[in-house]
A and B are shown apart, each in its own frame.
Chain A
């Protein structure tokens, strides 16, 4: 258990509303990631963080922003949600070994 908690686990919202997903870790890992998973596309990297206030874009970052003001929390924000952002979002942390990532249980977001 890598001590990762995602919240909320399920959310339904309307187009145009802001949404923030939270990833919380308890083990002080430096690297954290946000992925989304959609049928036919698999898991795709949205943003990642390599330390407090240090973040970078992944493959599908348009429409998303992130923040990491403290080690344990990595927030993913959809400023104005669209139906194309309906997806399952997974947070991950990099363990202290040789590159293994450990994932949270996912947050299912539906944008109507």
Chain B
């Protein structure tokens, strides 16, 4: 799975858009970009994922550059409850077989600690 690079920490004012960048310059053509977040003491929460096109759901938008070497997670109107660690993960969606490649397990790096301030 391709390696990702994220800033260690970011701040955002409440009500403003939070734009969290992720670099994945070694991404392969069949690898997806997944975003998760972890609010203190809770289990990681799935946010969104994409392959090449931009994606949007009720939580966030995912913008992937045309060359797919980087992406940005956008929280359009950040609230205090969005304070969390955000993880960008790259991996194939469909690994061949059940046992190979840790059975679809995701490798979590250190992520970006986002602080939303009043």
Contact = CB atoms under 8 A, between A and B. Distances in A.
Interface of A: 31, 33, 35, 42-43, 45, 48-51, 54, 56, 58, 88, 90, 92, 94-95, 98-106
A31 B108 contact: no
Given A98-B49, A99-B34, A48 B44 contact: no
B108 A43 contact: yes
Given A50-B103, A56-B102, A104 B32 contact: no
Contacts of A92: 43-44
Contacts of A106: 41-43
Contacts of A42: 108-111
Contacts of B93: 98-99
Contacts of A58: 102, 105
Interface string B101-117: 01111111111000000
21 contacts: A31-B103, A33-B103, A45-B105, A48-B102, A48-B103, A48-B105, A51-B98, A56-B102, A56-B103, A58-B105, A90-B43, A92-B44, A99-B34, A99-B49, A99-B91, A100-B46, A101-B104, A101-B105, A102-B46, A103-B45, A106-B43
Interface of B: 32, 34, 41-46, 49, 91-94, 98-99, 102-111
Given A48-B105, A56-B103, A98-B93, A105 B42 contact: yes
Contacts, number: 68
A105 B42 CA distance: 6
B37 to A, nearest CB: 11
Contacts of A56: 99, 102-103
A33 B42 CA distance: 16
B98 A105 contact: no
Contacts of B94: 98-99
Contacts of A88: 41
A99 B36 CA distance: 12
Given A42-B109, A45-B105, A54 B46 contact: no
